[in-house]
Amino acid sequence: MREPAIRAGYINLPCQPLCVTLSGQIGMSRIFRTLPCFGVMIGGLTLICGPASAASSPTYCTPTSASAPKKCSASGPSCACFSSANHASAQTTHQNITVYGSGSRHSYTVPTIEAWGKTPVALKDIPQSVSVITQQRMEDSNMLTMTDAMRQINGIRVMPASTANSNFYSRGYQLTTSVDGTPNASGTLNNASFDLSMYDRIEVLRGSSGLLQGAGGAGGVVNEVTKKPGQDFALSGAASVGSFNNYRADVDMTVALNKSKTLRFRTADLFEDNDYFYKYAHTRKWQAYGVLEWDITPRTTFMVSHAAQQQDNQAPYYGLPLTTANTLWSGSRSANPSQSWGYSNYMTQQTIASLNQKLWGDWSATARGTFYDQSYNTLYNEPWNQIDPSTGTLQYRDQGIAAFKGTNSSRSADIYAQGSFHFLNRTHHALFGFNYNSYEQVTQYANNNCNAIYNDVSINNTDVVKKTRSKLF
């Protein structure tokens, strides 16, 4: 009899009798499949798994090499053990059982990833260092930003740049990014990243193979997989309150817009307002993400998405200066070299449009375009010298004011076809395509003609440094 196809999902198999594993996982997910009962040969012993009635007593297994019985399971589907000689008679009692497995939505792993080429490939088939942060892992570990996620990945060095952004390195090189497999150089280049609420998972490929992926970084590539609409209506949301006046609320909804479910929509939105453990700093952020997917024909799908995020940071934190003894400051952890009048504001938008056409067999062709734009505006006063370790004071000057604004823009195009073919009794997979990515950064610095000097400013009270009244732009 032909085995039924396995639908999307997982069954975790720890080191114990298989029937015990299956009995422990029944009812854990909405994704299910039906399997016939089966036998597993281990040496001269065959384990036959099948359902047991509620009133059945525990089943004992008797290996051919031992006379003492062994307990196999105490409840649920039971495991009967037979020697290989009795295997044929045991098969007459086989019945069907239903197994509920956990899918990738509620798992810490995924069946395939796209960071290694555009064809979905199983992790075990990728001869490179790859890590995946799934949506479930993000939720369980309370990861909110790209910095939170990258700190959980082996071999990644996170270099915080400010309250709003960080740089990510692997094997000595800065990581580049791709969005849904399309190169996007702007993703980790010291820019304010999108909140993780719009991503289904984060895939990280480390090492020189990144030269052939994403925007071509020798350290590797971060593939950001955005959320897509589902066939059925689903709604989830969360609200949280934390230390340092941290308030956050988010909602995620997917819905079909017509009866045939060929037109589907999904949105993921959030609002966050929080302080920090260091003085003066405050952040207010909102993000809106929407994606529309349309099955034009059973073989043609069009998708368009747009994400917008506004992040306003008061008194942005860029780290503490060294002391005059070239040591780290060991005073109060609440010290912030910035002032309460300082700010660093970012407006980020990203639009993606794609068209997928199924060809023959498993061949398909995809065209995708990505448009990324970010504007920023920053003002604060940097310390002019190092901290006196005995007094905790330092000097500020108006000439140290950092005032600049600018834009980051990225344009990406990706066209490719992929599929498999048979040759010499082997199945081969092929990918043909072309991609393009351009990145432009424009920064305008202020014309600062002020010359006020502030001596003996305590690192714990930098708000005494006043905002210049001169017109900077």
User: Which H, E and C letters describe 100-136, residue by residue?
Assistant: ECECHHHCCCCCCECCCCCCCECHHHCCCEEEEEEHH
Query: Residue 262 and residue 293: Cα distance in Å, rounded?
Result: 8
Contact at 8 Å (CB) between 187 and 223?
A: no
Nearest to 222 by CA among 185, 190, 172: 185
For the domain made up of 234-464, the CATH class stated in words is: mainly beta
Query: Residue 276 and residue 210: Cα distance in Å, rounded?
Result: 35
Q: Residue 377: its pLDDT value, please?
A: 93
pLDDT digits (tens, 9 = 90+) for 166-196: 888 888 888 888 888 888 765 555 577 899 9
pLDDT digits (tens, 9 = 90+) for 298-316: 999 999 999 999 999 999 9
Strands 220-226 and 39-42: unpaired
Buried b (16+ CB within 10 A) or exposed e, 129-153: bbbbbbbbbbeeeebbbbbbbbeeb
Buried b (16+ CB within 10 A) or exposed e, 54-84: eeeeebebeeeeeeeeeebbeebbbbbbbee
Let me know if 364 is exposed, middle or buried by CB neighbors in 10 A (0-12, 13-18, 19+): middle
Q: Residue 368: its pLDDT value, please?
A: 94
3-class SS of residue 197:
helix
Instruction: Return the number of other C-beta atoms located less than 10 Å from residue 341's C-beta.
Output: 16
Q: Residue 473: its pLDDT value, please?
A: 62
> Would you say residue 462 has pLDDT above 80?
yes
What does residue 137 show for φ and ψ, rounded to 5 degrees?
A: -65, -40
Structure tokens at 179: 């969005």
Q: Residue 335: its pLDDT value, please?
A: 92
76: pLDDT confidence band, cut at 50, 70 and 90?
A: very low
Nearest to 410 by CA among 168, 146, 183: 183
Query: Residue 131 and residue 175: Cα distance in Å, rounded?
Result: 14
pLDDT digits (tens, 9 = 90+) for 109-150: 888 887 666 777 888 888 888 889 998 899 888 899 888 999
pTM of full prediction above 0.95 = no
> Would you say residue 157 has pLDDT above 70?
yes
Q: Residue 266: its pLDDT value, please?
A: 97
Helices (H), 215-270: none
For the domain made up of 105-226, the CATH class stated in words is: mainly beta
Structure tokens at 101: 């497995």
Instruction: Return the number of other C-beta atoms located less than 10 Å from residue 260's C-beta.
Output: 8
Domain with CATH 2.170.130.10 in the chain: 105-226
Q: Calculate the average pLDDT of the chain.
A: 78
Beta strands in 194-316 (DSSP E): 199-206, 220-226, 234-242, 246-256, 263-275, 282-297, 300-314
